Amino acid sequence: MDERDLHLMQGILFTDMYQLTMAQVYFEAGIHERPAHFDHFFRSYPNYGDHKAGYCIAAGLDWLLDWMENTSFDQPALDHLARERDIEGRPVFKEEFLHWLSREGNFKKLKLQAIAEGRVVHPNVPLTTVEGPLAMAQILETALLNSLNFQTLIATKAARIRHSCGSRLLMEFGLRRAHGWGGNQASRAALIGGCDYSSNAGLSFVMDVPPKGTHSHALVQAWMAMGRSELEAFQAYADLYPDSCLLLVDTVDTLNSGVPNAIRVFRELRRKGYEPLGVRLDSGDLAYLSIQVSKMLDDAGFPQASIVLSNDLDEMTILQIHAQIRDDSERNGVNAEHVIRRLTYGVGTRLVTSAGQSSLGGVYKLVALQVGGEWKPAMKYSNSVTKLINPGHKKAWRIYDNRDRATADLIGFSDEDPASQETLTLHHPAIQGVSRTLKRSDISRIEPLLERVWEGGGRRQPRPTLEELRTRCREDLNHLDTGVLRMRSPHIYHISLTPRLLEAKLQLIAKVHKLREG
C-alpha cells in the first residue's frame, strides 16, 4: 500500500461495489440523470448495554463535503473499473457508462440540505437530504453514511462523557485503539462533541487546536533501567517542560513513590517560579487514589494541582468515581467537591470506539423520484410497518416551549409551515391515535432544522470553525430537558409527524397491504 493505493481507497472508490453496478443499471435504463431525492436518518439512539443515549450530536458533514469537493471518477478509478470482469470474462462495466462517469462522475449537480454539524439530532428526522441525478446520488450513499454515522456516534459519546465530568478538562487519548485511519475522524468528532483537546497530533494541527499529552510509563522505566530513579525521570521532564509539568505517578507505586517524587519536583519548580499542572493516575482504584493524592498535594501546598485520571474511562465510570469520592470523603477528612473539582480526564478507547455500541445505524433511503416533471414518492415496503420510511420531500422543525426548552422535533412536507398555525398537532410517528396538541402560546419558537449546505457545484456556507461547531453543540444541549440528558433510561424526546405527513404515510401503508394481498 503506497500513496497511490491510499488515494485509490479514499477516493471515489471508497464505496460499495453495488452502488456502481446499480448506477450502470440506471444508465442502461436511461434514468441515471433523473432527479431523485434521498433521505438520511437513523432509527434509534446508541444503546451501550446498561445505559443509552437520549440524543445524538450530528457530526461528519464538513469532512463529507470536503470529500465531495475533492473526489470524482478520475483515471485510476476508471481504469480499475474498466478491468473488472464477470464470471464469463466479459467487462462488468460498459464503455459508454465509463465514458459518462468520466464526464459526469462527480457531485457537482447534487443539492444537499442538512441539520448543521454539532447540533443535537434525533431518530427518524432527516439529518441530510440529497437531491440530484439518480446515479450520482446513489453513488454518494456509502461515503455519506460512513462519514456521518461514525462521527455522529463519537460526537454523541463525547457529549455524554463531557456531561459526566461537568466543566472539567477532558482530553481524548484513543488513537492507539481507534479503528485504523478512522482514529482521525474519531478525534475530530470527540473535539466537536465535548473534548477540550486530543492527543492526536496531526488531527489537532488540522483542527487548529493544540495537541495535548503527558508522558507514559516508558519514560520512568527508561531512567530506572539506567540505574537512575523515578525522581530523576520526573526532574528531566520538569526541566524541559517547566510550565506544563504533568507527571504520571503510577509506574512504581503511586502513593509511596510517584506522588512523593512528584511533590519534590513540584517544589523545585515553584522555587524556579513555575506552578506545576499536576499528576496523572492510570491504574488502581481511581476514586480512592484521587482522595489520597488530593490530600498529599494539599498537605504539600499544591491545592491547585490537577489530578488527571485515565484507564478505560467512560461516562458511567466517571459518575461512579464521583459517587465513590462523595461516599468516602468524610471518613478521609476531605472535602469531596474539592477533590472532584481538581480532577481532569483522559478518555481513550471507550470514547473513540463507542464501547458497548460501536455503530450508528444511519440509513439512506430513496424517498422520491421525478417522473414527467413531477415528484413521485418512493417507498420501501418493509416487513415491519415501524420501519416504513416517510415518503416525499420533507422538512423538520424544532419546537421550543415557554421555558425555551426543545420539546419536540416535527417532520412534515416541505410546503408545510407549522409557524403559521394557531395550534399544532404532533402525531406519534408509529403508534396510531397518539398525538399531542400545542397552542401557539405554549411555544416560544419553531426553528427549521435543515439548511442548504451544498448546491450549484459546491458548499453553500463557509466552513465552520471548531469553535462554532462546539458552540452549536453546547447551546443545543442547554436547550434539552435534564431528563433527556440522563445517562440511563433517558426521557424519550418527542419526534412527531404533521397531520398531512401522517395521512400520506397511512395511505401508503394501506397501499402496501393491498399490494401484498393482491
Give the pairing of strands 128-133 and 35-41.
Answer: antiparallel
Contact residue for a copy of itself among 35, 91, 260, 361 (CB under 8 A)? 361
**Nearest residue (CB) to a copy of itself, 485 versus 512:** 512
Residue 78: HSE in the Cβ half-sphere, 13 Å Cα cutoff = 18
440 is written with which cell numbers? Answer: 401557539
- What binding mask, one character per residue, do residues 154-173 give for a copy of itself by CB under 8 A, x or -? -------------------x
Distance CA 453, CA 302 (A): 50
**DSSP-derived 3-state class of residue 213:** coil
459 is written with which cell numbers? Answer: 458548499
Of 45, 35, 61, nearest in space to 128 by CA: 61
Distance CA 378, CA 391 (A): 6
How many degrees, rounded to 5, is the angle at CA 95 between CA 91 and CA 101? 115
The reply on whether position 366 binds a copy of itself by CB under 8 A is yes
Q: Tell me the number of residues near a copy of itself by CB under 8 A.
A: 132
Residue 131: alpha-carbon gap to chain centroid: 24
Interface residues for a copy of itself in 295-354 (CB under 8 A)? 349, 353-354
The reply on whether position 474 binds a copy of itself by CB under 8 A is no
The reply on whether position 445 binds a copy of itself by CB under 8 A is no
429 phi and psi angles, rounded to 5 deg = -70, -20
Choices 8-16, 108-116, 125-133, 155-163; region in contact with a copy of itself by CB under 8 A: 8-16
The reply on whether position 70 binds a copy of itself by CB under 8 A is yes
- Closest separation in Å from C-beta 508 to a copy of itself: 11
The reply on whether position 437 binds a copy of itself by CB under 8 A is no
**Nearest residue (CB) to a copy of itself, 221 versus 435:** 221
Query: 352-371 burial, b if ≥16 CB within 10 A, otherwise e?
Result: bbbebbeebebbbbbbbbee
68 is written with which cell numbers? Answer: 465531495
383 is written with which cell numbers? Answer: 416487513
Cross-strand bridge partners of residue 347: 172
DSSP 8-state class, residue 111: E
- Closest separation in Å from C-beta 104 to a copy of itself: 18
**Nearest residue (CB) to a copy of itself, 56 versus 449:** 56
The reply on whether position 457 binds a copy of itself by CB under 8 A is no
Alpha helices by DSSP H, listed for 230-285, are: 230-240, 259-271
Interface residues for a copy of itself in 111-140 (CB under 8 A)? 134, 138
Contact residue for a copy of itself among 68, 155, 279, 368 (CB under 8 A)? 368
Q: How far is CA 464 from CA 156, 185, 372, 461, 470, in A?
A: 19, 16, 39, 8, 10
The reply on whether position 181 binds a copy of itself by CB under 8 A is yes
The reply on whether position 87 binds a copy of itself by CB under 8 A is yes
**Nearest residue (CB) to a copy of itself, 210 versus 483:** 210
Amino acid code (one letter) for 435: S
The reply on whether position 381 binds a copy of itself by CB under 8 A is yes
The reply on whether position 150 binds a copy of itself by CB under 8 A is yes
The reply on whether position 206 binds a copy of itself by CB under 8 A is yes
Distance CA 301, CA 256 (A): 18
The reply on whether position 44 binds a copy of itself by CB under 8 A is no
- Closest separation in Å from C-beta 490 to a copy of itself: 22
The reply on whether position 182 binds a copy of itself by CB under 8 A is yes
501 is written with which cell numbers? Answer: 405527513
**Nearest residue (CB) to a copy of itself, 321 versus 399:** 321
Choices 121-129, 214-222, 323-331, 491-499; region in contact with a copy of itself by CB under 8 A: 214-222
Contact residue for a copy of itself among 257, 320, 332, 414 (CB under 8 A)? 257
How many degrees, rounded to 5, is the angle at CA 116 between CA 152 and CA 110? 95
The reply on whether position 152 binds a copy of itself by CB under 8 A is no
Distance CA 127, CA 150 (A): 14
DSSP 8-state class, residue 256: I
The reply on whether position 382 binds a copy of itself by CB under 8 A is yes
- Closest separation in Å from C-beta 196 to a copy of itself: 14
Contact 213, 169 (CB under 8 A): no
The reply on whether position 2 binds a copy of itself by CB under 8 A is yes
Burial class of residue 425 in the structure, from the number of CB atoms within 10 Å of its CB (0-12 exposed, 13-18 middle, 19+ buried) = middle
The reply on whether position 253 binds a copy of itself by CB under 8 A is yes
Contact residue for a copy of itself among 43, 166, 205, 461 (CB under 8 A)? 205
- What binding mask, one character per residue, do residues 496-515 give for a copy of itself by CB under 8 A, x or -? ----------------x--x
- Closest separation in Å from C-beta 448 to a copy of itself: 26
Contact residue for a copy of itself among 49, 333, 373, 433 (CB under 8 A)? 49
What dihedral do alpha carbons 291, 292, 293, 294 form, nearest 10°? 50
303 phi and psi angles, rounded to 5 deg = -65, -15
Interface residues for a copy of itself in 11-30 (CB under 8 A)? 11, 13-22, 24-26, 28-29
Contact residue for a copy of itself among 106, 147, 152, 317 (CB under 8 A)? 147
The reply on whether position 210 binds a copy of itself by CB under 8 A is yes
- Closest separation in Å from C-beta 500 to a copy of itself: 20
